[in-house]
Amino acid sequence: MAAINLAQKLATFSAHWQPRVVGQFNGHDLMVVKVKGEFVWHQHDDTDDFFLVLSGRMTIRMHEGDVTLGPGEVFVVPKGVPHCPVAEEEAHLLLIEPTGTPNTGDASTAAPRRVI
């Protein structure tokens, strides 16, 4: 067993919106992701969506209103709520989701599960 260094894991890839699994916790994937630009509007019908900003800033657009997050801030999008993450500049995030959750809410359009 060893500690997971999130900065080191993030340094291993450059692609945006392509989460990488760095660990697991009670049936959930711990993932790091680099984001920039606008993602697709989507929702997760069966699970909440956890976002922790490690660096940079991002906005989670929702029909009920936008939430802007900076380093060290967390937001959980409730299950079933349509949302669209956006980052004007590159931001680094930690995501926690049940293993196998498609990042677009649809397995046919989701990024493949990558473990680093």
Instruction: Give the side-chain half-sphere CA count within 13 A for 56.
Output: 17
Q: What is the mean pLDDT of residues 73-92?
A: 97
Q: Which helix (H) or strand (E) holds 8?
A: helix 6-10
Instruction: Give the side-chain half-sphere CA count within 13 A for 21.
Output: 18
Angstrom distance (rounded) from CA 114 to CA 37: 21
The answer to whether residue 82 is domain-embedded is yes
pLDDT digits 0-9 by tens, 59-76: 999 999 999 999 999 999
Range of the domain at 111: 19-115
Q: What is the mean pLDDT of residues 1-13?
A: 95
The residues pairing with 34 across neighbouring beta strands, listed in sequence order, are 16, 92
The answer to whether residue 7 is domain-embedded is no
Angstrom distance (rounded) from CA 61 to CA 4: 30
pTM for the whole structure: 0.92
pLDDT digits 0-9 by tens, 39-52: 999 999 999 999 99
Q: What is the CATH number of the domain that holds 59?
A: 2.60.120.10
Is the confidence at residue 36, as pLDDT, over 90? yes
How many distinct structural domains can be found in the chain?
A: 1
The answer to whether residue 9 is domain-embedded is no
Joined together, the tokens standing for residue 26 give 């009670």
